[in-house]
Structure 1
């Protein structure tokens, strides 16, 4: 079974009022094991980056100015996602933005039933407990020390670890399959790796 763990960063909260995606990060899982394949793209939102969004993402107008617009990279994202199930933290938010951008690019929309919401999973498993990505990292002992800013690829990599914990599935660190056979080196060695630091505006 192929799954894509993904995250987006945006200029705000509502595409209907002009907010756009500025970054997509995605990690491929095969039978609940990371394959090492990722997708990562910065995107020019074609609008000024609000100060509050800049403070969260560290992505400023100067950095994004020479990046491609979504329409130019939309097909590459669609091809990477394929028909896989989409694992997303607060799925309604990311799916709303992805489908808005795909619609503007003239491409078919993503079916909502493809998305698995890890926030909903966490709330079912731990009723009343915080369900943020940081809170789940603390609960499961997942190292998120590199998460000083919200970055889509790093968040997707961390979410992949969180998702594996939530489903109680095979853990990459253990190096064993369900029948005791050792996994491939790619699966065993995988760890969320820091994304290169972006230059911030003064």
Structure 2
């Protein structure tokens, strides 16, 4: 039987790991290039030995951050749909996608190495994200507040294009503005008001 002390240590270790993941994600997202493990430990307020105890290599940390972000995106679709209308849920999910893109900036070189090694299946990640988008689009079609002729691949391509453009040096167009425009384009066109037939004409009721 596990002792209370062992359970407490495991719970503390889990909390510390989650805290390190959160800090690493924030540091990666705010960096313009690869960030050192020592800088991440310092930002988290722990010694480098503590960081390495949870993540023995930089690759293991990057992989954990990447997988955590993907889980947040896939679970986020369901959670957002439970709390908001599909169009609103999609707009909030776009922000989550932007956070994922930003986090990759500060760990890109290592992430590419991890993907090339086969540790992270890029194709599987793509399928998971497309499934998340599809679930929101399907809910939107059923509710009538998202177009029925848009594919998940098209939405994903639009998001990637927006965040690529928005992060270009010297660009004055914000990602938020572009995302709002994209969402407007994903809404079904407004139906023109019905025109009543003149009195005495067919359909006037006379």
The TM-score bracket by the shorter chain reads under 0.3
TM-score, with length taken from structure 2: 0.23
Question: Of the two, which has the highest radius of gyration?
Answer: 2
Scaled by the length of structure 1, the TM-score of the pair is 0.24
Higher strand share: 1
